[in-house]
Amino acid sequence: PRLKEVEFVKSSGKAKDCPRDDRPEFAILGRSNVGKSSLINVLARKKEVALTSKKPGKTQLINHFLVNKSWYLVDLPGYGFAKAPDSARMDWSSFTKGYFLNRETLVAVLLLIDASVPPQKIDLDCANWLGRNNIPMTLVFTKCDKMKGKRTRPDENIKNFQELMRQNYREHPAWIMTSSVTGLGRDELLLHMSQLRNY
């Protein structure tokens, strides 16, 4: 399977400006540099699916892509920009929270987490917020191939992240290990999304 056709539909400034048909959608979210663009390219088997969120001025918008004319992949603003002033981080939260809390067609959030580094507070905060608000999520661990020169290994980082989450939840969200370098997890993620769409 692949994302055969990925067609940009629109950028929205608010949840209520998003497309109004009832196609199911997945929102893709994570820290900047987590590997979001690389992963989408791997899913699409393309060199470059132009992510609108990478274009200047579009970074703070909700970007809808129609996949295979049947469901949406939604590119949300990244969080935790190292250089963004605190006020920009605040904007992200109120704006994105509005989307999560009001979007009825949202099937699940794909929360991207960099497995090549130990658990980061900002990712845990995000996962905890989604969990507290009963927003369905799948943890998509990225860069699982990355071992060289690292003090910690991806599998240890993933285990530690899950341990930290378990302190808050009895039921752990679905999770998938991926690598855009080796293609690990690609088919699993596509299958996972198609299963969730049909339930």
Residue nearest to ligand GDP (CB): 35
Question: Which is closer to ligand GDP, CB of 137 or CB of 144?
Answer: 144
Which of residues 16 and 55 has its CB atom nearest to ligand GDP in the complex?
A: 55
Shortest distance in whole angstroms from residue 17 CB to ligand GDP: 23
Residue 192 in contact with ligand GDP, rule: CB under 6 A:
no
- Three-state SS for the chain is CCCCCEEEEEEECCHHHCCCCCCCEEEEEEECCCCHHHHHHHHHCCCCCCCHHHCCCCCCCEEEEEECCCEEEEECCCECCCCCCHHHHHHHHHHHHHHHHHCCCEEEEEEEEECCCCCCHHHHHHHHHHHHCCCCEEEEEECCCCCCCCCCCHHHHHHHHHHHHHCCCCCCCEEEECCCCCCCCHHHHHHHHHHHHHC
**35 contributes a contact to ligand GDP by CB under 6 A:** yes
End-to-end CA distance of the chain: 19
Pick from 117, 129, 145, 152: which binds ligand GDP (CB under 6 A)?
A: 145
Q: Is 180 in the site for ligand GDP (CB under 6 A)?
A: yes
**Under rule CB under 6 A, residue 128 binds ligand GDP:** no
Q: Does 162 bind ligand GDP (CB under 6 A)?
A: no
Interface with ligand GDP, residue 152, by CB under 6 A: no
Q: Applying CB under 6 A, does 105 fall inside the site for ligand GDP?
A: no
Report, in Å, the least distance between residue 78 CB and ligand GDP.
6
What backbone torsions phi and psi does residue 70 show, to the nearest 5 degrees? -130, -25
Interface residue with ligand GDP, options 12, 23, 24, 33 (CB under 6 A)? 33
Q: Under the criterion CB under 6 A, does residue 34 sit at the interface with ligand GDP?
A: yes
Which spans of this chain sit near ligand GDP (rule: CB under 6 A)? 32-38, 142-143, 145-146, 179-181
